Amino acid sequence: MIAAGAITAFLLNEISKEVPHRSFRINAAQENVPHYDFEQFLSEWERDKKGLVDKLRGRRVAISGEVYQFQRHLETRTPQADIVMCGPKRDTTVVNCLFGDTTPWKSVYPNQRVVILGYYCELESSWFTLTDCTIESVSGEPCPKMTADEFSMELRSGEFSRKHPPNYWDPPHVVVTGIVKAVRKVGNGESTSRLTEIDFATTTDDLISCQFEPTAPRIPKDDEIGREVTVVGIRLGTRPENPALQRCFRMD
């Protein structure tokens, strides 16, 4: 097995590489594709949701906005990845983008802006959903990336909170790479509907735990204890009883 330090260096080097940017061009066959900035889309959605849906039903649509998280879709329960692009009102309105068999987190990270092209899909949801999506362009800086040790030391010293003040409505995302020390289910109910938490091993012996929703893609399993993984999650608060990161998903 490759040394953990070598894997860490490789992973951090890979995810730090600049994502290739592609300009957004619509060819002649797609010249009627409507293109919305998220803030523009949100304004029209709130003003006349039915009218917007009627206008876009069955059409290919391009939307640009900020990436917030990845997950499996709540209604379809398929292995498709789902990007949620969120604007100022991310607690109330989102755009779900289903990518089929592709892995969008290999080319875009939370906090970056993207242009996504997809077909409007009618599902029993209050959210707007695009399917068969492709990422047309990526811009902006991704969220911070660090090892579990670095994250632990920043939390212990208070440096992370100074650089990223707690904000419930716009919590900071962090990419963390480390060795899995423990995997457990938390909460009540069926195993498939419970949260999963992992602990990272750290040289400081501080507890760095990451919590995965049941809809997260590729949730860690018991047989991954001792392996190195890369996850991204949000830092919701500083209470010691809370996981260090929540709403996590895998980036490796």
Residue 3 domain flag:
no
CATH number of the domain that residue 165 is part of: 2.40.50.140
pLDDT (0 to 100) of residue 113: 87
Residue 8 domain flag:
no
Examine the pLDDT at 19 and tell me if it is beyond 80. Answer: no
Please state, as a whole number, how many other Cβ atoms lie within 10 Å of the Cβ of residue 97.
30
Same domain, yes or no, for 222 and 181?
yes
Instruction: Among 119, 139, 159, identify where a domain stops.
Output: 139
pTM across the whole model: 0.72
d(Cα 106, Cα 23) in Å, to the nearest integer?
18
Residue 25 domain flag:
no
Residue 219 domain flag:
yes
Span 18-32, mean pLDDT?
Answer: 42
Same domain, yes or no, for 171 and 217?
yes
Residue 221 is encoded by which pair of tokens?
């399993």
One-character DSSP codes across 73-99: -TTT--S-EEEEEE-TTTTT--EEEE-
Instruction: Among 139, 155, 173, identify where a domain stops.
Output: 139
Q: Shortest CA distance to 116 belongs to which of 127, 106, 103, 131?
A: 131
Residue 231 domain flag:
yes
Q: Shortest CA distance to 26 belongs to which of 77, 62, 64, 63?
A: 62
pLDDT (0 to 100) of residue 10: 26
Residue 15 domain flag:
no
Same domain, yes or no, for 92 and 106?
yes
Residue 224 domain flag:
yes
**pLDDT per position as a tens digit, 191-212:** 667 899 999 999 988 889 999 9
One-letter amino acid identity for 106?
A: K
Instruction: Among 117, 139, 161, identify where a domain stops.
Output: 139
pLDDT (0 to 100) of residue 26: 40
Please state, as a whole number, how many other Cβ atoms lie within 10 Å of the Cβ of residue 100.
12
**pLDDT per position as a tens digit, 52-82:** 888 888 889 998 888 877 776 666 555 455 5
Range of the domain at 125: 31-139
